[in-house]
Amino acid sequence: MNSPIKKILQFTIQHNTGVIFLVMLIVSAFASDAFFTANNLSNLIRQVAPVGIISMGMLLVILTGGIDLSVGSVVALVGVLCALFTQTLALPVAVAASLVCGILAGSISGYLVSVQKMAPFIATLALMTIARGLGFIFSKGAPVMVDESATALTDFGSGSLLGIPNPAIILLFTFVVTWVLLKYNIYGRILIAIGSNEEAVRLSGVRIWMYKFSVYAVIGGLAAIAGLIGTARTGVGSPNLGVGLELDVIAAVVIGGTNLKGGKGSAVDTFLGVLILGMIGNIMNLMDVASYAQQVIKGLIIILAVLLQRFEGK
């Protein structure tokens, strides 16, 4: 048979996320002159930051064989709370309190899943509606303005460091920490082990519940950061923020080749998945594709990515 073609095919299958990323990059460059401009790229990475930050937590959750549907609602809840807090508390305290609220929300899911042994899908689905509801209750259904004194927050939201938007810096930091944890730390190692055979890990003397609990607390904290970024950028905490965000996050993780049953996934590929997803939206906006068509194309790319992953290891 034709061996160069076979080799290319094999490479494509093995590095499917990377290949899709490169293809998208090339297609984007040809499709629009506006794509490779500093302005657009910085816009792109700013836009993907919330999904990207949370996707690192979602990767950890999914590695253990779980899922978290509540992140979109937690983003909204924390956004609202942060805006409210700025009205009464000093800014650093307000930010810290918001973060704690996110971690707390995640810890509730974590407790239900790890100690009460509830199915993650159910536990986080419940938390999703609870957090959304609380967001509306606290905000009385309308966007809450950040207090005028908290200019440092809004400045941070629109600011940048060395030309990189601040949210993007947080995203990069989250990504690097996750990557290091998974590659070099025993914590990541154990998460992967749990996802591949939980019972065997339990019988090896590992306290499964601590690890499972921790990943939900982490993703709660990351959702809170995303919520803070949202409020910082817009200057309002909106209870409507982040509807359907969890699906984008899960899509990014899946495009990154993570096995939804747990036990297999990589931070780099998840990061690429985030960028791929962001690029689809970005390039189609540049090309004035209607948002309904965008959704269709997004779905098709997810299917393509997963089909390619099927051949992996065969």
Partner 1 sequence: MPGKNIENRVELRNISKAFGGVAALKDVTLKAAPGEIHALMGENGAGKSTLMKILSGALQKDGGEIFIDDEKVNIKNTYDSKELGIGIIYQEFSLVPDLTVAENVFFNQLSKGSRWMKWDKLKREAATIINNIGFDINTGVRVSSLSIAQQQIVEIAKALSEKVKVLILDEPSAVLGPTEVQKLFETLHTLKSEGVTIIYISHHLSEIFKIADRVTVLKDGISTQRLLVAETDKETIIKLMLGRSLNAMFPPRNAVVGGEVIRVEDIYVSGKVKGVSLRVRSGEVIGIAGLVGSGRTETVRGIFAADKLSGGKVFVSGKKVNFRSPADAVKQGIGMVPEDRKRQGVLLPLSIKHNVTLANFRGITGKLGFVRFGEENKKSRELIKKLAIKAVNENAPVGSLSGGNQQKVVLAKWFNRDCKVIIIDEPTRGVDVGAKIEIYNLINELAAKGAAVIVISSETAELMGICDWILVMREGKVQGTLEKDEFNEENILRYAIGAS
The DSSP secondary structure of 124-179, one letter per residue, reads HHHHHHHHHHHHHHHHTTS-EEPPTT-HHHHHHHH-EETTEEHHHHHHHHHHHHHH
Give the number of other CB atoms < 10 A from CB of residue 246.
25
Distance CA 284, CA 261 (A): 32
Q: Which is nearer to partner 1, 287 or 310 (CB)?
A: 310
| Strand duo 160-161 + 236-237: pairing | unpaired
Smallest separation (angstroms) from partner 1 to the CB of 92: 26
Q: Which is nearer to partner 1, 140 or 314 (CB)?
A: 314
- To the nearest 10°, report the CA torsion of 81, 83, 87, 90: 80
Give the number of other CB atoms < 10 A from CB of residue 129.
12
Q: Which is nearer to partner 1, 129 or 207 (CB)?
A: 207
- For binding to partner 1 (CB under 8 A), which residues are involved? 184-187, 189, 192-193, 196-197, 199-207, 263-264
Cβ–Cβ under 8 Å, residues 13 and 312: yes
Smallest separation (angstroms) from partner 1 to the CB of 246: 27
Smallest separation (angstroms) from partner 1 to the CB of 314: 12
Q: Which is nearer to partner 1, 10 or 129 (CB)?
A: 10
Name the burial class of residue 286, with classes exposed (0-12), middle (13-18) and buried (19+) by CB atoms within 10 angstroms of its CB.
middle
Smallest separation (angstroms) from partner 1 to the CB of 200: 6
Q: Which is nearer to partner 1, 87 or 196 (CB)?
A: 196
Smallest separation (angstroms) from partner 1 to the CB of 259: 9
Q: Which is nearer to partner 1, 151 or 185 (CB)?
A: 185
Cβ–Cβ under 8 Å, residues 110 and 142: no
Rg (alpha carbons) of the chain, rounded to whole number: 20
Cβ–Cβ under 8 Å, residues 190 and 39: no
Q: Which is nearer to partner 1, 36 or 173 (CB)?
A: 173
Smallest separation (angstroms) from partner 1 to the CB of 189: 7
- Where residue 275 falls (left for φ over 0; alpha for ψ -120 to 50; beta otherwise) is alpha
Q: Which is nearer to partner 1, 117 or 202 (CB)?
A: 202
Smallest separation (angstroms) from partner 1 to the CB of 180: 9
Type of residue at 258: T
Smallest separation (angstroms) from partner 1 to the CB of 184: 5
